[in-house]
C-alpha cells in the first residue's frame, strides 16, 4: 500500500574570468572555517553542460509524453463505454450476466493501459511550480475562504500569507512556516499549511527556483537565508511562532541565536524544529554519509551545472532539481517502483480515488527546483562536513552564532521514529546546545512509527503532531488558541 506517513523525502552569482585552468564562481565569502570561494576547476568532463543536454532531451520527448496522455484518455473512454449498463433484449438474463462477466477482462485491460500510459506521461513530463490551491478552511462549523497574499517580495523568496476572509487580523497567533530549500517547492508543505490554518495565521517562505533569478540579482547562500529569516521575523513582529521543517532548522537556529545576542525584542516566542540535521554525527543516515564521503571538488564537478540560456537565470551555477530528484528516487527506488505499480493496478481495478492519491503525490514529488551552487556547497560544508553549528564555530558574515545566547524562545523538537533522512538524535541535540534556555522552555517529542515525510504531511501529522504543537504553544504563551471569529 502507498503510505504517506512512512514515505521519506530528503529535505536535508557572478561569473568570473577564466584564469589559466580555472573558472571562479564568486558570490560572497562562504561562512565556514576555510572561508574560501567556490572554485570550479576547468574540466571538460564536469557537469556544467549537463543541464543543457537534460533540458534539450526533455523537450525532445515532450511530444511522446503528450501523446501518452492522449492515449491514456482514449483508453479510459473505451473502458467507460464498454462498462455502460446495457442488456441485449435477444439474450436471456443469464446470458446477459455471462456477457457482462466476460467483458470485464478487456475492460480491466483497457483500464490498465490507461494507468500505464498516464504514469509514463507523468514520469516524462516537464513540471513547473505547483500552486497551493488552498481554497478554504473549516474552523468549527464554518468555512472561510483563503486568499494568498505576498507580504514581501525578495530576489530569492516571497513571504506568503494565507489570509482568512471574514476573520480579523490578530484573532489567531502567527505561525511562520519556513519551507525547506532542498530541491522541492514550498508547495510540498501544502498539507502542513492546511493543518495549521484552523489554529494560526499562517505565513510561509516561498523560495524561488534559482534558474528563474537573473544573474543581475546576485547570489544566495546560507548567510543570505539567515538574513531573510531575520528580516521576516522583524516584519511579522512580536507574538510570532516559527516552524522549521528539515533543512531550515539550522538557519532558523542561527537567526534565533543572532537575534538573542543582539537582544532583539522581535524574536519569535516559540520555534518548532521538525526533523532537522542539527548534529549529523548522531545516527548518520545515507544522506549524511554521502555528504562526508566526497570532497568539495567532487561535488563541484559532478553535481553543479549551468542554467541553460532559455531561462531568466541563464549561466547561473546551480545544483539542478533533476539531480536532487535522482538522489531522492535512488534512496527508496524499490518503494517508488511499487507505488507506481500500485497506481497502475488501481487504474485497472477502477479504484480511481486510490490511484489519484498516488498520482497527486508524484506530481508534487517530480516538481523540483534548482538551488544556487553557493547555497548548496555552503550547506554541505557547514552542516554536514564540518558541523560548525554543533562545534560552536559557525559564523555568519563574521558574527558568531552562539546558541547558548538563546534564552527567550521556547523550543519544541520533533523527530520521527522511522525517519531515514534525519537520524534519531540529530534534532534532539538542540536541547543540549541551547544550554542556557530553561528546561521548562524545551520539549522533545518522538513521533512513533512516523517517517520523514509523515512529520509534516498525512494523517499522523494532522492527528498527532499538530495537537502536540498546539499544546506546546498554548503552554508557552499561557493562552489558548481562540476559535472565536471576530467579523471584519
Looking at the domain assignment, is residue 172 inside a domain?
Answer: yes
Q: What is the pLDDT of residue 82?
A: 84
Q: What is the pLDDT of residue 45?
A: 53
Tell me the per-residue pLDDT of 410-432, one tens digit each, with 9 for 90 and over. 999 999 999 989 999 999 999 99
What is the three-class DSSP state of 5?
coil
C-alpha cell at 162: 494565507
CATH number for the domain including 376? 3.40.50.1820
- For residues 53-81, give the mean pLDDT: 95
CA 167 – CA 9 distance, rounded (Å): 35
pLDDT category at 99 given cuts 50, 70, 90 is low
Looking at the domain assignment, is residue 189 inside a domain?
Answer: yes
Looking at the domain assignment, is residue 350 inside a domain?
Answer: no
CA 457 remoteness from chain centre: 11
Looking at the domain assignment, is residue 292 inside a domain?
Answer: yes
Looking at the domain assignment, is residue 30 inside a domain?
Answer: no
Closest CA to 442 of 451, 455, 457, 430: 430
C-alpha cell at 464: 498527532
Q: Name which of 10-24, 200-214, 371-385 the model is least confident about.
A: 10-24
| DSSP string over 120-170 | HHHHH----PPP----EEEETTEEEEEEEEEEEE-SSEEEEEEEETTS-TT
CA 145 – CA 197 distance, rounded (Å): 11
The domain of 398 spans 136-296+370-477
Looking at the domain assignment, is residue 26 inside a domain?
Answer: no
Please tell me which residue, 229 or 90, carries the higher pLDDT value: 229
Q: Name which of 40-44, 264-268, 363-367, 472-476 the model is least confident about.
A: 40-44
Query: Taking phi first (over 0 means left), then psi (-120 to 50 degrees means alpha), and beta for anything else, what does residue 374 get?
Result: alpha
22-26 and 38-41 as β-strands: parallel, antiparallel, unpaired? antiparallel
CA 68 – CA 74 distance, rounded (Å): 10
Task: Report pTM.
Answer: 0.85
Number of structural domains found in the chain: 1
Are the CB atoms for 248 and 181 separated by under 8 Å?
yes
Looking at the domain assignment, is residue 337 inside a domain?
Answer: no
Are the CB atoms for 48 and 305 separated by under 8 Å?
yes
Looking at the domain assignment, is residue 277 inside a domain?
Answer: yes
Amino acid at each position: 500500500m502507498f503510505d504517506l506517513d512512512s514515505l521519506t523525502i530528503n529535505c536535508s552569482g557572478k561569473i568570473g574570468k577564466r584564469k589559466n585552468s580555472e573558472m571562479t564562481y564568486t558570490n560572497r565569502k562562504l561562512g565556514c572555517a576555510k572561508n574560501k570561494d567556490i572554485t570550479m576547476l576547468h574540466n571538460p568532463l564536469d557537469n556544467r553542460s549537463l543541464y543543457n543536454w537534460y533540458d534539450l532531451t526533455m523537450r525532445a520527448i515532450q511530444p511522446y509524453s503528450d501523446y501518452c496522455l492522449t492515449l491514456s484518455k482514449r483508453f479510459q473512454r473505451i473502458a467507460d463505454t464498454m462498462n455502460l449498463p446495457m442488456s441485449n433484449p435477444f439474450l436471456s438474463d443469464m446470458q446477459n450476466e455471462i456477457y457482462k462477466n466476460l467483458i470485464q477482462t478487456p475492460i480491466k485491460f483497457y483500464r490498465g493501459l490507461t494507468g500505464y500510459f498516464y504514469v509514463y506521461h507523468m514520469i516524462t513530463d516537464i513540471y513547473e511550480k505547483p500552486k497551493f490551491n488552498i481554497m478554504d478552511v473549516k474552523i468549527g462549523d464554518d468555512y472561510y475562504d483563503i486568499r494568498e497574499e505576498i507580504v514581501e517580495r525578495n530576489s530569492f523568496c516571497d513571504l506568503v500569507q494565507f489570509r482568512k476572509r471574514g476573520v480579523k487580523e490578530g484573532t489567531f497567533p502567527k505561525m511562520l512556516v519556513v519551507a525547506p530549500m532542498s530541491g522541492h517547492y514550498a508547495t510540498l508543505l501544502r498539507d502542513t499549511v492546511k493543518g495549521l490554518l484552523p489554529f494560526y495565521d499562517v505565513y510561509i517562505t516561498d523560495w524561488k527556483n534559482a534558474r528563474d533569478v537573473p544573474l543581475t540579482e546576485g547570489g544566495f547562500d546560507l548567510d543570505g537565508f539567515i538574513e531573510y529569516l531575520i528580516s521576516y521575523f522583524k516584519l511579522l513582529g512580536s507574538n510570532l511562532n516559527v516552524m522549521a521543517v528539515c533543512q531550515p532548522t539550522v538557519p532558523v537556529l542561527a537567526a534565533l541565536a543572532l537575534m538573542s545576542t543582539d537582544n532583539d525584542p522581535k524574536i519569535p516566542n516559540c520555534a518548532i524544529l521538525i526533523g532537522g540535521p542539527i548534529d549529523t554525527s548522531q545516527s548518520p543516515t545515507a544522506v549524511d554519509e554521502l555528504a562526508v564521503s566526497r570532497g568539495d571538488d567532487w561535488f563541484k564537478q559532478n553535481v553543479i551545472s549551468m542554467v541553460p540560456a532559455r531561462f531568466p537565470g541563464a549561466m547561473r551555477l546551480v545544483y539542478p532539481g533533476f539531480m536532487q530528484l535522482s538522489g531522492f528516487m535512488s534512496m527508496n527506488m524499490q518503494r517508488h517502483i511499487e507505488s507506481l505499480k500500485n497506481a497502475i493496478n488501481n487504474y485497472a481495478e477502477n479504484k480511481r480515488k486510490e490511484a489519484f492519491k498516488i498520482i497527486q503525490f508524484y506530481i508534487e514529488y517530480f516538481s523540483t527546483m534548482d538551488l544556487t551552487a553557493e547555497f548548496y556547497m555552503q550547506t554541505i560544508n557547514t552542516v554536514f562536513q564540518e558541523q560548525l553549528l554543533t562545534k560552536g564555530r559557525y559564523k555568519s558574515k563574521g558574527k558568531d552564532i552562539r546558541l547558548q545566547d538563546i534564552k527567550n524562545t521556547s523550543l519544541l523538537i520533533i523527530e520521527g521514529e522511522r525517519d531515514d533522512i534525519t537520524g534519531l538524535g540529530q534534532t534532539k541535540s538542540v536541547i543540549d546546545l541551547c544550554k542556557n534556555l530553561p528546561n521548562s522552555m524545551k520539549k522533545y517529542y518522538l513521533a512513533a512509527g512516523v517517517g520523514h515525510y509523515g512529520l509534516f504531511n498525512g494523517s499522523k501529522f494532522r492527528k498527532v503532531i499538530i495537537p502536540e504543537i498546539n499544546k506546546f504553544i498554548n503552554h508557552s504563551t499561557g493562552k489558548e488558541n481562540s476559535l472565536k471569529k471576530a467579523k471584519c
